[in-house]
Structure 1
Amino acid sequence: MNWYVVYTKPKWEKKVAEKLNQIGIECYCPIITQVKQWSDRKKKVEVPLFNSYVFVRLADSNRNAVFEVAGVVRYLFWLGKPAIVRDEEINTIKTSLKAENISDISVTTIKVGDKIKLESGVFSNQSGIVQEVSKTYCILVLESLGCILKIKYNSI
């Protein structure tokens, strides 16, 4: 069985994951806790790590079963085929999210095109290629996960 990426309606990730589990489909929706600030208060909220994505593990012949769940839009495709995520990539995400002390990522003297290996945080041990650098952030392309990561950092 392979892990596939299901694209959901915006803000439906947790609902879709819950419904998929209820009908017996193994799925994973990575959740992180963020502090959101409103005009009158701050609150910790749990939000999906990847907006509009849920990972599902099932046999290729059962792929259509996910469309029984409201909120599922389509599968994510890569090079004309449904995107398959390796088990070790799912395990890396799970392990990284369990880390208690997620430290800030600091970036020094890098340029566009450099290959960087992240040493801590949610994406530790992932390699990325620098796409853009500014005074307050860096954008990395994480090809193994098929995503773009924007890392904000403090100026010294």
Structure 2
Amino acid sequence: MKDWYLLYCKRSEQERAVLNLDRQGVECYYPQVTVQKMVRGKRVEAPEPLFPSYIFVFFDPETLSFTTVRSTRGVADFIRQGAKPQRVQQEIVYGLMMNEDSDAHQKQLSSFPKPGETLKLEQGQFKGIEAIYQEADGEKRSFMLINLLGKPVKVSVENKDIVKK
């Protein structure tokens, strides 16, 4: 019986793993999100992995062994619970698939502050301070430029602490 599992891939080799798993008949899901980044001085939109180094795979372990999948080029190992590879609930995977291209997801990404935008920090150690948004710092934090003792200082703050002016 087919189930979803989560694979951990070698660094920056998710695409290689997907290609090789596909050749073996394993269905793969590699969620990506489109982000804006600077490339050679120009702002471009490019896909990036939603979960770097992770791939969801759908296969029947009675037809294709865990060892065969784990030994595929680009794959490091399964995410495990004890000695057994951990099954992933299909509702989670299908939910990710539905949200990946949804308008609400795109709207959420576009509501993020733009670099250079002036914001006010609402919570945390810098509460009440005006800051200039610089860039995202991972999933839940952002780099902000604040004026501290007359000097601009780059700090990392929780996204939930930011309020648009």
Contact 2:37 2:45 in 1 (8 A): yes
The structure-2 alpha-carbon separation of the partners of 1:135 and 1:40, relative to structure 1 and needing over 3 Å to count, comes to: farther
Residue identity opposite 1:150 in structure 2: K
| Structure of higher CA gyration radius | 2
Give the RMSD, CA atoms, in angstroms. 2.5
1:88 is aligned to 2:91: yes
Determine the structure 1 residue equivalent to 2:163.
155
Aligned length: 117
TM-score (norm 2): 0.61
Cα displacement string for residues 2-42 of structure 1 (whole angstroms, at most 9, x for unaligned residues): 11111101111122112211221111111111111246111
CA distance, structure 2, for counterparts of residue 26 and residue 38 of structure 1 = 32
- Pick aligned residue for 1:70 from 62, 73, 76: 73
Contact 1:17 1:27 in 2 (8 A): yes
Determine the structure 2 residue equivalent to 1:36.
37
Shift of 1:92: 0.2
Which runs of 5 or more structure 1 residues have no equivalent in the other structure?
106-132, 137-148
1:100 is aligned to 2:103: yes
What pairs with 1:4-153 in structure 2 (closer than 5 Å)?
4-38=5-39, 40-61=41-62, 62-102=65-105, 103-104=107-108, 134=124, 150=140, 152-153=159-160
TM-score (norm 1): 0.64
Determine the structure 1 residue equivalent to 2:131.
none
Residue identity opposite 2:69 in structure 1: V
Over the matched positions of the two proteins, sequence identity in percent amounts to 23
The structure-2 alpha-carbon separation of the partners of 1:42 and 1:83, relative to structure 1 and needing over 3 Å to count, comes to: same
Which runs of 5 or more structure 2 residues have no equivalent in the other structure?
110-122, 127-138, 142-158
Shift of 1:155: 1.8
Structure 1 runs of 4+ with >6 Å offset: none
Shift of 1:134: 4.4
Contact 1:6 1:55 in 2 (8 A): yes
Residue identity opposite 1:47 in structure 2: E
